[in-house]
């Protein structure tokens, strides 16, 4: 079974500067900001703003194919084996694989599947973002 947990919500955005300005106007401050992506700390989880085309590329799809996947939910795990198991379990449960878990350019290990309604879940190990024992995520200091 997989934990009842969302570690990261990613919003695909057409214009990252515009999106960051919008959330800044709401009072949100990124904990981490890189070229092309910004991460915001929430209670036990994080929200990311990420370019739509980058998000599509990361899923191996075109931006037009994203559908509700223009917002994705991610579960982080401690090991690659747990990522593989979560992906396999989802397929066994009727999910459609979007990307078999594999080494990611950013140094982690990540796969994607869609649930029966097309909602996109990422399963990932991020060695730079260890989880607390309760499964909550605290973004590292930049």
Q: Which is nearer to its own copies, 65 or 103 (CB)?
A: 65
List 35, 64, 105, 116, residue binding its own copies (CB under 8 A)? 116
For its own copies, the binding residue among 63, 85, 88, 89 (CB under 8 A) is 89
* CA 99 vs CA 52, 58, 59, 106, 140: distances in Å: 17, 9, 6, 16, 27
Q: Tell me whether residue 6 or residue 98 sits nearer to its own copies (CB atom).
A: 6
- 88 binding its own copies? (CB under 8 A): no
Between 21 and 81, whose beta carbon lies closer to its own copies?
A: 21
Going by the DSSP 8-state scheme, the letter that residue 126 receives in this structure is -
Is residue 67 part of the contact set for its own copies (CB under 8 A)? Answer: yes
Contact range with its own copies by CB under 8 A, out of 57-65, 84-92, 99-107: 84-92
Min separation Cβ 53 and its own copies, Å: 12
Residues 34-63 that bind its own copies (CB under 8 A): 40-45, 47, 52
Q: Which residues contact 110 (CB under 8 A, 6 or more apart)?
A: 58, 83, 99, 101, 102, 104, 122, 123, 124, 125
Q: Measured from the CB atom, is 2 or 108 closer to its own copies?
A: 2
Around Cβ 129, how many Cβ atoms within 10 Å? Answer: 18
């Amino acid at each position: 079974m997989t934990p009842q947990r969302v570690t990261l919500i990613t919003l695909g955005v057409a214009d990252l500067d515009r999106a960051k300005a919008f959330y800044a106007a709401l009072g949100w401050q990124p904990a981490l900001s890189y070229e092309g992506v910004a991460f915001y700390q929430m209670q036990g989880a994080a929200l990311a703003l990420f370019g739509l085309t980058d998000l599509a590329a990361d899923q191996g799809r075109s931006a037009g194919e994203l559908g509700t996947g223009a917002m994705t939910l991610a579960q982080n795990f401690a090991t690659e084996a747990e990522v593989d198991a979560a992906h396999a379990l989802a397929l066994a449960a009727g999910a459609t694989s979007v990307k078999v878990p594999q080494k990611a350019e950013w140094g982690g290990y990540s796969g994607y599947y869609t649930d029966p309604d097309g909602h996109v879940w990422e399963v990932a190990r991020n060695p730079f973002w260890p989880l607390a024992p309760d499964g909550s995520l605290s973004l590292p200091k930049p």
